[in-house]
């Protein structure tokens, strides 16, 4: 078994490992770069980093149909349960960790905002630090978990280094600018986080966040020790010990 990661466009990701099919920040139907129908997705888990529409647009429909476990902050989970009758969610808050069949998930701080589409308070925005069970994946030589850090929408801030202190195998970080950090700040973030592999997100969806991703890959290779890959929408990236 391995860990397979697929970019669905914007900041929506699909991660498969073992029995788990994890959908991160579902924004598909109204996402101009998406190439799948939201109705084709049947995740086991849906993770929502914050309340903005471009991170949870399709969450209600997919959660209802798939019965996936929704994991987000306490306020978003309460909103999904009370306004949309989604059952069995896991509500977290910053710094907390939950254990799931595929490993652990920590809800990590991010510097951003988090209102819900109807104007409700969306709680704190965050990111997710996954510790995938070694048995699920490529596992590191010493059977440590495989750590994948999805920062969510965020500015550059120095606690990224603290969050990543136990090691990050794969980092997913925004580069779009305007709403999040841009390419230059992301290089500084990668220097702090020191991942083995980095994937960019939250770019090229609309003209205001268009970026030259090939130039960004080159900058990562010149200025950090990470390997960068520009993802292609719907193309599966199979993570293994070599990256
Ligand atoms: Ni946002
Ligand atoms: Mn966003």
Distance CA 226, CA 112 (A): 25
Compute, in angstroms, the gap from residue 153 CA to the centroid of ligand 2.
6
Q: What are the phi and psi torsion angles at 223 (to 5°)?
A: -115, -5
Distance CA 13, CA 198 (A): 14
* pLDDT on residue 134: 79
The CA dihedral of 21, 46, 133, 11, to the nearest 10 degrees, is: 90
* pLDDT on residue 135: 65
Residue-range domains of the chain with CATH: 3-238 (3.60.15.10)
Per-residue pLDDT of 81-114, as tens digits, reads 999 999 999 999 999 999 999 999 999 999 999 9
Compute, in angstroms, the gap from residue 36 CA to the centroid of ligand 2.
19
- Average pLDDT by stretches of 10, the chain with 243 residues: 92 97 98 97 98 98 98 98 97 98 97 97 98 70 83 98 97 98 98 98 98 98 98 94 53
B/e letters for 149-182, b = 16+ CB within 10 Å, e = fewer, are: bbbbbbebbeebeebbeeebbbbbbbbbbebbbb
Compute, in angstroms, the gap from residue 240 CA to the centroid of ligand 1.
30
* pLDDT on residue 36: 97
* pLDDT on residue 79: 98
The ligand that comes nearest to the alpha carbon of residue 201 is 2
* pLDDT on residue 140: 53
* pLDDT on residue 2: 86
The ligand that comes nearest to the alpha carbon of residue 176 is 2
Q: What percent of the chain has pLDDT over 90?
A: 93
Compute, in angstroms, the gap from residue 201 CA to the centroid of ligand 1.
12
Compute, in angstroms, the gap from residue 182 CA to the centroid of ligand 1.
14
Compute, in angstroms, the gap from residue 143 CA to the centroid of ligand 2.
34
Compute, in angstroms, the gap from residue 92 CA to the centroid of ligand 2.
20
Compute, in angstroms, the gap from residue 118 CA to the centroid of ligand 2.
16
Compute, in angstroms, the gap from residue 241 CA to the centroid of ligand 2.
30
């Amino acid at each position: 078994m391995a860990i397979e990661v697929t970019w669905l466009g914007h900041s929506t990701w699909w991660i498969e490992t073992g029995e788990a099919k994890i959908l991160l920040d579902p924004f598909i139907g109204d996402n101009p770069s998406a190439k799948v129908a939201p109705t084709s997705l049947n995740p086991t888990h849906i993770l929502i980093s914050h309340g903005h529409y471009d991170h949870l647009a399709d969450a209600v429909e997919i959660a209802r149909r798939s019965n996936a476990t929704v994991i987000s902050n306490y306020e978003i989970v309460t909103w999904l349960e009370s306004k949309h009758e989604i059952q069995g969610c896991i509500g977290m808050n910053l710094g907390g960790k939950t254990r799931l069949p595929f490993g652990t998930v920590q809800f990590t701080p991010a510097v951003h905002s988090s209102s819900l589409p109807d104007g409700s308070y969306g709680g704190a925005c965050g990111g997710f630090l996954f510790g995938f069970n070694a048995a699920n994946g490529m596992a590191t030589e010493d059977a440590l978990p495989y750590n994948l850090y999805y920062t969510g929408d965020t500015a550059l801030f120095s606690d990224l280094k603290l969050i990543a202190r136990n090691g990050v195998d794969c980092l997913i970080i925004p580069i779009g600018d305007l709403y999040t950090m841009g390419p230059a700040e992301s290089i500084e973030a990668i220097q702090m986080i020191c991942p083995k592999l980095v994937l960019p997100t939250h770019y090229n969806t609309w003209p205001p966040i268009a970026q030259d991703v090939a130039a960004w890959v080159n900058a990562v290779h010149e200025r950090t020790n990470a390997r960068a890959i520009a993802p292609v929408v719907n193309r599966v990236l199979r993570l293994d010990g070599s990256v």
